[in-house]
Amino acid sequence: MGLCEPDDGTGRFYYRRHVIVAHTSVNTHLKNYLIITGGYWAFTITDGALRMLVVLYFHLLGYSPFEVAMLFLFYEFFGIVTNLVGGWLGSRIGLNLTMHIGMAIQVVALAMLMVPEAWLSVGYVMLAQALSGIAKDLNKMSAKASVKKLVPDNHANKDTVLFRWVAILTGSKNALKGVGFFIGALLLQLFEFRGALTVLAASLFLVLLTCLFMLPSGLGKSKEKQKFSRIFSKTAAINRLSIARFFLFGARDVWFVVALPVYLYSVLNWSFINVGSFLAVWVIGYGAVQASAPGLLRKSHRGKGPDGNTAMHWSFILAIFPVGIATALYVGFQAEFVLIGGLIAFGFVFAINSAVHSYLIVAWSDKDKVALNVGFYYMANAAGRLTGTVLSGWVYQTQGLVGCLLISTVFILLAGVFSTRLVAEPA
- Domains delineated in the chain: 12-418 (1.20.1250.20)
Q: Which of 74, 416, 78 minimizes the C-alpha distance to 245? A: 416
250 and 387 Cβ atoms separated by less than 8 Å: yes
Give me the pLDDT at residue 229, please.
54
pLDDT at 154 exceeding the cut of 60: no
* Cα–Cα distance measured from residue 132 to residue 203, given in angstroms and rounded to the nearest whole number: 16
Task: Report the residue count for the chain.
Answer: 427
pLDDT tens sequence across 347-382: 999 999 988 888 888 777 766 667 677 778 888 888
Beta carbons within 10 angstroms of residue 160's beta carbon: 17
Looking at the predicted structure, is the pLDDT value of residue 225 above 60?
no
Query: Which of 231-245, 307-321, 404-418 reaches the highest mean pLDDT?
Result: 404-418
Q: Is the backbone of residue 63 left (phi > 0), alpha (psi -120 to 50) or beta?
A: beta
Report the distance separating Cα 266 and Cα 169, nearest Å.
35
Q: Do 376 and 242 form a contact (C-beta atoms < 8 A)?
A: yes
pLDDT at position 12 is 45
Query: pLDDT value at position 19?
Result: 43
The DSSP code for 194 is: H
Please tell me what DSSP assigns to residue 151.
Answer: S
CB 258 within 8 A of CB 69: yes
> Of all residues in the chain, what percent carry a pLDDT higher than 70?
81
Of residues 189 and 342, more confidence is placed in 342
Q: What is the pLDDT of residues 156-202, one digit of tens each?
A: 566 677 777 777 777 777 778 778 888 888 888 888 888 999 999 99
pLDDT at 30: 65
Residue closest to 379 by CA, chosen among 41, 84, 54: 84
Per-residue pLDDT at 217: 63
CA max distance for the chain = 83
Cα–Cα distance measured from residue 160 to residue 198, given in angstroms and rounded to the nearest whole number: 41
The answer, as to whether pTM is greater than 0.85, is: no
Is residue 113 within 8 Å of residue 132, measured between CB atoms?
no
pLDDT number for residue 373: 78
| Nearest-angstrom CA–CA distance, 282 and 347 | 7
- Of 22-31, 331-340, 415-424, the least confident: 22-31
Crossing angle of helices 122-150/370-418, nearest 10°? Answer: 100
3-state secondary structure of 61: coil
Give CA–CA dist 386/254, Å, rounded: 9
Angle at 173 between CA 354 and CA 404, to 5 degrees: 50
31 against 16, higher pLDDT: 31
Cα separation, 50 vs 181, whole angstroms: 8
Look at residue 172 in the predicted model and tell me its pLDDT. Answer: 75
C-alpha count within 13 angstroms, C-beta hemisphere, residue 99:
35
**Pairwise CA distance, residues 181 & 345, whole Å:** 20
Among 7-21, 319-333, 364-378, 380-394, the range with the most confident prediction by mean pLDDT is: 319-333
pLDDT at residue number 302: 59
> What's the average model confidence in pLDDT over 398-424?
89
